[in-house]
Structure 1
Amino acid sequence: MTEPRRTLLHTSTIPVRWGDMDAYAHVNNTIYFRYCEQARVEWIEAMGYPVLTEAGTGPVIINAACTFLIPITYPATVIVRLYAGEPGRSSVMTWYDIRTEGDDRLFAEGSAKVVWMDHESGKSVPLPDALRQTLVV
């Protein structure tokens, strides 16, 4: 089976906070999802789409996953690279590589499926054309 095409779309730099750690003195597993979320929000907002709207359409996540490979500890700066695959009608798969500044090792990798949704009806709608154009290379 061939790997899906992945295009690098955004890189986020996020400082690890003392409170991100758990009792085992490494970043708590739930925080990795926050790091991916931050990269995704930055990317969507950089495209000109507000992530919080009371009406209209916008992105939602229908699933998310993370594989933890190496513990991250404080102090550190996390580098999250966001990749996307081929767009569907209303969705696009995204992937995340999580590394730390000054260290080339892969600390974690994640994924999330982004679906464009009509907030009023709760139903999926086609991805905006301008967003779709950035996903097709």
Structure 2
Amino acid sequence: MSTSPYCVSVPLRWSDMDAYGHVNNVQFLRLLEDARVTGFREWFGGDAGDRSLLDEGVLVARHEIEYIAPLTFRHAPIAVEMWVTKMGGAGFDIGYDVRDPEDVGDGHYARAETSLVLYDFAQSRPRRIHPDEKAILEGLRGEQVPFRWRGR
């Protein structure tokens, strides 16, 4: 299990706000996607002509998100911590915490989990996790996302 989650700084956009001046709930999924794309490029490569997990194919099968506090627009990015919560033969789940970076504050805005399936678009079917991918994902393992409903 990883000692601390992987963390990405994700900038907010003015267009993320809703009529109440908060980052809109659906925009949180974009923030998670931005963090995931950055993480996948770092974890699995993709620079200098290498094929990455994103190039080979990965589909979102499920999102679950719990909003903790309103996030208002500001110029400072938010910190998205990510870790692997579960792995199967052809997919894995990623947990997230959406927080203030340490130098900005101590706000905690959301926790979430995404189920991903590796997909072979040429064959039009899911594909197995390669051993090298599994080794990377194992290094990112962490606890289940502490959703409040699980404590009931």
Cα contact 2:83–2:96 (8 A) shared by 1: yes
- Alpha-carbon deviation of 1:129? 1.7
Aligned residues: 129
Are the equivalent residues in 2 in contact too, given 1:86–1:135 (CA < 8 A)?
no
Distance 2:80 2:58 in 1: 19
Cα RMSD for the two superposed structures: 1.9
Match of 2:81 in 1: 81
| Structure with greater helix percent | 2
Q: Provide the residue aligned with 1:103 in structure 2.
A: 105
List per-residue Cα deviations over 1:22-74 (Å, max 9, x = no partner).
100000011100111111111112212152x4xxx321111112111101111
User: Matches of 1:35 and 1:111 in 2, distance apart?
Assistant: 13
Q: 34, 39, 43: which one pairs with 1:38? A: 34
Q: Report runs of 4+ in structure 1 exceeding 3 Å deviation.
A: 5-9
Q: Mind listing any 5+ residue stretches in structure 2 that lack a counterpart?
A: 46-51, 140-152
Tell me if structure 2 keeps the 8 A contact 1:15–1:78.
yes
Question: Is the strand fraction higher in 1 or 2?
Answer: 1
% identical equivalent positions: 26
> Is the 1:7–1:84 Cα contact (8 Å) retained in structure 2?
no
